[in-house]
């Protein structure tokens, strides 16, 4: 069975977009092998991806099928793997309902002043940096500060989250599942829960603890798991949106000028950033609970499926001139936030952060450019995220 590396070599391509373009045409559904040896159906066409995400027979309860997770002690596995993205049916409804009210567009809009202040403070610091970098100075710290504030997690622990979350995401699906990192992360969250139990505040984590303690709607391991999910899902994803969008803007000064002159055009541009360089390249793994047909292929019960959002979002059957960036694209029914019952809970928050960050960045540093415009962009390793490791810039203030 072929690996991703084999496919890159076979087609002589470097970019995942070029690879997926070929696969959409030639092998829209085929089995590939993860670096840790696990076979996986890769789904690349938009229509099949949407059908797959809407099909209840493709379940998120993959259990221990990603073999590397077997190395985790059961209690640690439960404390990170029983969140809403890993269950379905009534458990999913129960868990999602517990926090969904916090993430409605209306509630999220109330965070605007706080996010504006955080962004402007970060840009103040960036302005005086010897070597400013759009990833380190803005894209990383902003989503982390926002999610920590929402949950009620100490700001001082930002850096530890960053280290854990990076190591976790780089290790998923590889032979080196980051056992120590995950264990440390879970222990940290458990300690935090104890601390909040002793001294509750008005933030989301305390509210979840109250739901667990008063009404017994949440098991202890589900509570830890939910924190784990919110930190990972709410953080790295948005980092990539801010970073990828900034890189796209820096390569298009005429677009930056247009958005600076017309802030109303920023939201449509953000949707195109999401389509064109999708921050989360694939939905989380699904497992077939029974034998089924998808895209003319039989998937046997128990087999794993990876829905490629990165590929779906470049499908020419749905997006005219799909490999070109068009900041005014309408309609733009991208699937960067997924589709179906696991559709991203944090989409309104991610959009709010992006609208504020790009607006302020454009206003504050109108002459910003890449430090070395001819240098190749440094994409992160691993299969789980599409984002940059760094983006050094000149501010030209």
Query: Within a 10 A sphere around the Cβ of 74, how many other Cβ atoms?
Result: 10
Residue 189 in the binding site for ligand HEM (CB under 6 A): no
In sequence order, the β-bridge partners of residue 370 are: 393
Eight-class DSSP state of 135? I
CB of 178 or CB of 234, closer to ligand HEM:
234
What's the farthest any 2 CA atoms get from each other in the chain?
60
Among 182, 306, 344, 383, binds ligand HEM (CB under 6 A): 344
DSSP string, 238-284: HHHHHHHHHHHHHT-HHHHHHHHH-GGGHHHHHHHHHHHT-SS-BPP
Among 50, 329, 342, 380, binds ligand HEM (CB under 6 A): 342
Total residues found in the chain within this entry: 397
CB of 190 or CB of 355, closer to ligand HEM:
355
Cα torsion at 116, 264, 365, 162 (round to 10°)?
Answer: 50
Residue 266 in the binding site for ligand HEM (CB under 6 A): no
Q: Going residue by residue from 145 to 174, which x/- string records binding to ligand HEM, judged by CB under 6 A?
A: --x---------------------------
In sequence order, the β-bridge partners of residue 298 are: 293
CB of 77 to ligand HEM, least distance (A): 18
Applying CB under 6 A, which part among 19-27, 160-168, 346-354, 380-388 lies near ligand HEM?
Answer: 346-354
Among 76, 310, 350, 383, binds ligand HEM (CB under 6 A): 350
Q: Are 135 and 129 in contact (CB under 8 A)?
A: no
Residue 92 is inside which H or E element, if any?
Answer: helix 89-100
Q: Which residues contact 252 (CB under 8 A, 6 or more apart)?
A: 325
Residue 337 in the binding site for ligand HEM (CB under 6 A): yes
Among 33, 36, 174, 284, binds ligand HEM (CB under 6 A): 284
CB of 6 to ligand HEM, least distance (A): 25
Applying CB under 6 A, which part among 70-78, 181-189, 204-212, 333-341 lies near ligand HEM?
Answer: 333-341
In the range 227-246, which residues lie near ligand HEM by CB under 6 A? 229-230, 233-234, 237-238, 241
Helices (H) and strands (E) in the chain, counts: 17, 11
CB of 77 or CB of 351, closer to ligand HEM:
351
Eight-class DSSP state of 4? H
- Residue with smallest beta-carbon separation from ligand HEM: 346
Q: Are 35 and 2 in contact (CB under 8 A)?
A: no
Residue 336 in the binding site for ligand HEM (CB under 6 A): yes
What helix, strand, coil percent values describe the chain, rounded to 5?
55, 10, 35
CA–CA dist 238, 144 (Å, integer) = 9
In sequence order, the β-bridge partners of residue 306 are: 42
Q: Going residue by residue from 95 to 134, which x/- string records binding to ligand HEM, judged by CB under 6 A?
A: -x--------------------------------------
Among 40, 76, 84, 218, binds ligand HEM (CB under 6 A): 84
CB of 203 to ligand HEM, least distance (A): 13
CB of 280 or CB of 294, closer to ligand HEM:
280
Number of residues interacting with ligand HEM: please give it, by CB under 6 A.
25
Residue 81 in the binding site for ligand HEM (CB under 6 A): no
Question: Which chain residues interact with ligand HEM by CB under 6 A?
Answer: 84-85, 96, 147, 229-230, 233-234, 237-238, 241, 279-280, 283-284, 309, 336-338, 342, 344-346, 349-350
């Amino acid at each position: 069975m072929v690996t991703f590396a084999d496919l890159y070599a076979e087609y002589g391509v470097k970019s995942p977009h070029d690879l997926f373009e070929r696969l959409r045409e030639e092998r829209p559904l085929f089995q590939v092998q993860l670096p840790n040896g696990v076979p996986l159906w890769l789904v690349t066409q938009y229509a099949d991806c949407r059908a797959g995400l809407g099909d209840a027979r493709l379940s998120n309860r993959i259990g221990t099928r990603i073999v590397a997770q077997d190395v985790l002690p059961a209690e640690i596995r439960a404390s990170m793997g029983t969140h809403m993205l890993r269950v379905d049916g009534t458990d999913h409804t129960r868990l999602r309902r517990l926090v969904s009210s916090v993430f409605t567009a209306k509630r999220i809009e109330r965070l605007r002043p706080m996010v504006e202040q955080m962004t402007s403070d970060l840009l103040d610091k960036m302005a005086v940096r010897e070597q400013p970098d759009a990833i380190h100075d803005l894209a990383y710290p902003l989503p982390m500060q926002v999610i920590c504030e929402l949950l009620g997690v100490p700001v001082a622990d930002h850096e530890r989250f960053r280290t854990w979350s990076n190591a976790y995401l780089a290790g998923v699906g590889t032979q080196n599942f980051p056992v120590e990192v995950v264990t440390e992360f879970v222990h940290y969250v458990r300690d935090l829960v104890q601390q909040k139990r002793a001294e509750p505040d008005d933030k989301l984590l305390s509210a979840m603890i109250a739901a667990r303690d008063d009404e017994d709607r949440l098991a202890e391991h589900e509570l830890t798991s939910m924190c784990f999910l919110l930190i990972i899902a709410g953080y790295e994803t948005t980092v990539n949106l801010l970073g990828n969008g900034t890189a796209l803007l820096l390569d298009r000064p005429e677009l930056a000028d247009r958005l600076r002159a017309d802030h109303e055009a920023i939201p449509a541009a953000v949707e195109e950033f999401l389509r064109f360089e999708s921050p989360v390249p694939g939905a989380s793994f699904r497992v077939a609970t029974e034998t089924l047909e998808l895209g003319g292929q039989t998937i046997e019960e128990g087999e794993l499926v990876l829905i490629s959002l990165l590929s779906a979002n470049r499908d020419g059957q749905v997006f005219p001139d799909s490999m070109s960036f068009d900041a005014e694209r309408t309609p733009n029914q991208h699937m960067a936030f997924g589709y179906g019952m696991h559709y991203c809970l944090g989409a309104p928050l991610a959009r709010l952060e992006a609208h504020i960050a790009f607006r302020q960045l454009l206003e504050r540093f109108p002459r910003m450019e890449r430090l070395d415009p001819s240098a190749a962009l440094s994409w992160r390793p691993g299969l789980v995220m599409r984002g940059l490791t760094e983006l050094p810039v000149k501010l030209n203030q």
